[in-house]
Amino acid sequence: MYRKVLVVVSISQIFGGAGLAAGITVGALLAQQMLGSDAFAGVPAALFTLGSAVAALIVGKLSQRYGRRTGLATGFIVGGLGSVGVVFAAIFNSVILLFVSLLVYGAGTATNLQARYAGTDLANPKQRATAISITMVMTTFGAVAGPNLVDIMGGIALFIGIPALAGSFILSAAAYILAGLVLFIMLRPDPLDIAKRIATYNQENKQNNDTDLVDNNLNKKGLAVGATVMVLSQTVMVAIMTMTPVHMEQHGHDLTEIGIVIGFHIGAMYLPSLITGMLVDKIGRTAMSIASGITLLLAGLLAALAPSNSVILLIIALSLLGLGWNFGLISGTAQIVDSTMPATRAKTQGTLDVLIALAGASGGALSGMVVANTSFVTLSIGGGLLSLVLIPVVIWSRRS
C-alpha cells in the first residue's frame, strides 16, 4: 500500500508541477503588462501564495476529516479553476478578476506542496525523507516542462485570439484539474485513514507511558525548528525567483531565455530530491538544514554579482536557489512528520503550510518593492544573508 500511494501521488505531481511552474513563469510579466509598473510585478506571487495560505489550512482540515484523497483532489481542482479565471482576466484586461483568480490559483500551489505529506503516511521513520523526495522528484517532469512550453502556449493563445501570456495559465488549468482527478480516482484506500488505524492499534497495545512527556516536548521543538527551516527557505526562494524574469526582461532577454532559466531553477527545486531525501535520512535533518542556508547564501551572492547579460551565470544562480530550497523543504518536512501523530497530522501540516505560504507571499510582495526602490542586486544579497538565520536555529535544536 505504501508503494501504491507513492505511485499515485507521483503521477499527480507530474501534472501539479506543470501547473505550478507554468503560472510562476509568466505571472510577474502578466501583472507588469496589465498594471504598467515594475513595483507591482511581485503582486502575483504574493497573491497566489496568500491564496495558498488559506488553501493550505482548508486542504489540511479536509484531509484530516475526509482523508488525503478528498483534500488533495479538491485543492488541485480549485487551483485549476483559478487558472481559468486568470485567462479570462487577461482577455477582458480586468485587474480585479486577475487578483481574485490569482488568490484561487494559490490552492493548486498549496496542494502541490501538501501532496508530499501523503507519501509519508505509511512510511516508517527511516523512509520518511526518502518518501517525500520521491514525490517531489516526480514533480520535476512537469515543473521543467511548464516553463519551456511558455512560447508554445503563447502561440496557441494568440492563435485563438487571447493575450500570449495567458497561454501558460491554460496549461496550468488543464494540469491542475488532471492532477486532482488522478488523486480522486486512484488514491484508494486512503493512506491517512490507514495510518490512523495503525496508530490507534499501537496506542491500544502500548504498555509503557513513561516517555510521553519527553516525546511531547521533543515534538514541540521539532515542529518549531522544521517550520522555521521551511519558512526561511520559502521566503528567500520566492523573493529572488519572482523578480528574476523581470530583471532579465529589463536587460533584453526574451521569453525563451527566461523560460530556460526558470526551468533550470524549478528543476533544481525538485530533481535532486531523491538524493536529498536519502541524505536527510542518512546524515540527519540538522546537517541538511545547515546546507540549505549555505546554498541559499551562495545563490543570492551569485545572482547579485552575475553580469545581467549572462544567461549561464543566472542559470547557475537560480539552480543553487532551487537546490537550497530543496534541502530546506525536505529536511524541514521530515522534522514535521517526525513530530506529528496521524490523529492530528494533516491538520497540523496544513497549519504549518500556512506559515510557509505567508512567508512566500511576503517575499513575493516585498521583492517588487525592493527592486523598484533599490535594485535586483540588493534583493539577492539581502535574501542570501537572511538564509544564514537557519544555522543558529538548527544549532539550538541540538541542545537538550
Under the banding of pLDDT at 50, 70 and 90, the label for residue 211 is very low
Task: Kindly list the structural domains of the chain, giving each domain's residue range(s) and its CATH number in brackets, ordered by start.
Answer: 2-190+211-397 (1.20.1250.20)
The whole-angstrom separation of Cα 242 and Cα 254 is: 16
If one counts every other C-beta atom within 10 angstroms of the C-beta of residue 108, the result is 34
pTM of the model: 0.75
pLDDT tens figures, 309-324:
888 999 999 999 999 9
| Mean pLDDT value across residues 33-39 | 71
The pLDDT of residue 297 is 93
For residue range 368-389, what is the model confidence (pLDDT) as tens digits? 788 888 888 898 998 889 888 8
Q: 50 or 111: whose pLDDT is higher?
A: 111
Residues with Cβ < 8 Å from 266, sequence gap 6 or more? Answer: 17, 20, 21, 24, 140, 143, 144, 146, 147, 322
Instruction: Please give the Cα distance from 195 to 173 (Å, whole number).
Output: 32
- Tell me the residue type at 338: D
pLDDT at residue 273, as a whole number: 85
Q: Using one digit for the tens of pLDDT, what is the confidence trace for 278-314?
A: 999 888 888 999 999 999 999 999 999 888 788 899 9
Of the pLDDT bands very low, low, confident and very high (cuts 50, 70, 90), residue 42 is low
Q: If we measure between CA atoms, which residue out of 183, 125, 165 comes closest to residue 35?
A: 165
What per-residue confidence (pLDDT) applies to 210?
A: 44
| Confidence bin at 186 (pLDDT 50/70/90) | very high
pLDDT tens track for 262-271: 888 878 887 8
| Cell, residue 21 | 511552474
Task: Determine the average pLDDT of the residues in 75-91.
Answer: 92
User: What pLDDT score does 77 carry?
Assistant: 95
Here the cell at position 305 is 554579482
pLDDT of residue 399: 66
